Amino acid sequence: MRRVRFRDPHGDIRHGAWADEEIRAFPSDGQRVTADEEYFDPAEVDVLPPTDPSKIVCVGLNYADHAEEQGKEVPDRPLLFLKPPNTVASHEQTVELPEGKERLDYEAELGVVIGERASDVSESEASDVIAGFTCVNDISNRDDQAVETNWVRGKAFDDAAPIGPVVASPDEVPLDASVKCRVNGELRQDSSREQFIFTVPELIAEITNYVTLQPGDVISTGTPEGVGPLSDGDTVEIEVEGVGTLRNEVSIP
């Protein structure tokens, strides 16, 4: 199932399943749709971020080819940093990025959405805490990232983490799911989760050894080679096999 949050034409926030180019709204108790439930055209509703995370735990340099293009050594343990809730943006939202920067980059990533409180989770139990997967664009302000240690200006600015359009259940997303990015229709990144240095279970085990994850939190698992700069008016599409395509237009003052 591919779960979606959306605002219907009446302004009400709803939940549903997105399949076959239509959204089937869940009844208020959250159960599966029945024959008499409402159906919506995705183009006629506002698709919201599919989760409301208290934090996004991001993984740096989780693809060897990206480490190489950044001139970095492959880490011996996951490189972690945080993005707070203010960074979250939704599918089809115009993301407004900081002005006066020379380099603002897209980064296509597979997002792991946590389904229950998770602390000290072992690799063997990691699948038990996964609600599903989504697309993330880890937008980066390279100007400030290059000169600060904690990356707040480089990674935690408003709209720095578009997420969506859905949360796909684990059975929908293959172990070798492709991860792609297109800018203005041109393919810029093309890899898969089987190229990870650290697997999803390894990431969950390492992160929850230090940080308690709450339902709705997201682990953004790193980006492959091919990152590059964004310009005002660009359209960025992040595609994860089994999830779908997250699309955003970029606005840079």
Q: Which domain holds residue 69?
A: 49-251
* Residue 43 sits in the same domain as residue 58: no
Q: Which of 7-16, 94-103, 106-115, 215-224 has the lowest mean pLDDT?
A: 7-16
Give me the mean pLDDT over the 126-146 stretch: 98
What pLDDT digit, counting tens, does each position of 27-86 carry? 865 555 555 568 999 999 999 999 999 999 999 999 988 888 888 888 999 999 999 999
Q: What is residue 29's predicted lDDT score, i.e. its pLDDT?
A: 54
Measure the N-to-C terminal CA separation of the chain; round to a whole number of Å. Answer: 38
Q: Work out how many domains the chain is built from and give that number.
A: 2
* Residue 37 sits in the same domain as residue 152: no
Q: What is residue 72's predicted lDDT score, i.e. its pLDDT?
A: 83
Distance CA 198, CA 213 (A): 18
What pLDDT digit, counting tens, does each position of 177-222 carry? 999 999 999 999 999 999 999 999 999 999 999 999 999 999 999 9
Q: From residue 198, how far is each of 155, 178, 233 by CA, in Å?
A: 21, 16, 34
* Residue 42 sits in the same domain as residue 151: no
* Residue 42 sits in the same domain as residue 110: no
* Residue 59 sits in the same domain as residue 20: no
* Residue 173 sits in the same domain as residue 203: yes
pTM for the model stands at 0.94
* Residue 53 sits in the same domain as residue 67: yes
Closest CA to 227 of 63, 111, 84: 63
* Residue 32 sits in the same domain as residue 53: no
